[in-house]
Amino acid sequence: MPEIEQFDPHAGAGELGRVARRRARVRQRLLEVAEKLMEERGVEAVTIDDIAAGAEIARRSFYHHFESKYDLLVPIARARTRTVNLRLERLAASIADPAEAMAAAIRHGLRAFTSDPLCNWFILESGLSHERLYEGVGESANRDAQRGVAAGRFRIDNPKVAGLIISASFIALLSANLAKKLRERDLDDAVAYLLRLLGLDSNEAHDIAHRPLSPLPRAKSQMNPTS
């Protein structure tokens, strides 16, 4: 198996550039192999030996790039979480009413993140701080809430607290849904409660949170060049 080249402080700029590019290619290959294996087998079933073998490097070379399997998993899961958020952003942008846009994004998000085991790991098991998780699951909700305030649809006295409550509720709902403690209707009922928190009355919140969902836009990588 090919070995990872080590940096030589006495090497010229051209040589250092080649080594850096090689390291970057190996790192990317490790990420791609790990993502594929974890999709097929699940996170816990995949070992460092599996990943190293798939990337055609020695096990010890793995540690030139990542400290552990979970260290490698963070950028993979964060990228997938970001991809879901971009799809949610496109969906929200297509809906005129900010309240309906936010409800649809949260409802789809709860389902999309639950169905992706790598996103689930990132949100529920990575051990990252709430601030780091907010980067993955809170950005879209915060944007949609601000849009609703600007349009006069939401009344939020303390946006910072409201944002924390929404993102924390989202994580709690994901955890319960993953544990199969919730029905589909429960997810939509939860969104109705969140809309009430943002100032909508009970009847309107319930109506918006239980409307038929438009399809979630595909990821850019799933679209053909002409779409």
Residue 136: the pLDDT is 54
- In whole angstroms, what is the distance from residue 65 CA to residue 156 CA? 44
Residue 139: the pLDDT is 66
Whole-model pTM? 0.76
pLDDT per residue, tens digit, the chain (227 aa), is 333 334 344 555 565 688 888 889 999 999 999 999 998 988 889 999 999 999 999 999 999 999 999 899 888 988 888 888 889 889 988 999 999 999 999 999 899 888 888 887 777 777 665 555 555 555 677 778 888 999 999 998 887 788 778 888 888 898 898 888 999 999 999 999 999 999 999 999 999 999 999 898 887 654 433 33
Residue 98: the pLDDT is 94
Among candidate residues 64, 37, 59, the one with its CA nearest the CA of residue 48 = 59
CATH of 71-213, one of 2.40.100.10, 1.10.10.10, 1.10.357.10, 3.40.50.720: 1.10.357.10
- In whole angstroms, what is the distance from residue 157 CA to residue 225 CA? 44
- Give the phi and the psi of residue 160 in degrees, each rounded to 5: -65, -45
Residue 125: the pLDDT is 74
Same fold, 13-66 and 71-213: no
Residue 80: the pLDDT is 86
Among candidate residues 60, 79, 81, 84, the one with its CA nearest the CA of residue 6 = 60
Residue 123: the pLDDT is 73
Residue 133: the pLDDT is 57
Residue 6: the pLDDT is 41
> How is residue 52 written in tokens?
């190293």
Helices (H), 56-201: 59-62, 69-93, 98-115, 117-120, 130-137, 139-150, 159-178, 184-197
Indicate the domain borders of the chain. Answer: 13-66, 71-213
| Domain 13-66, CATH | 1.10.10.60
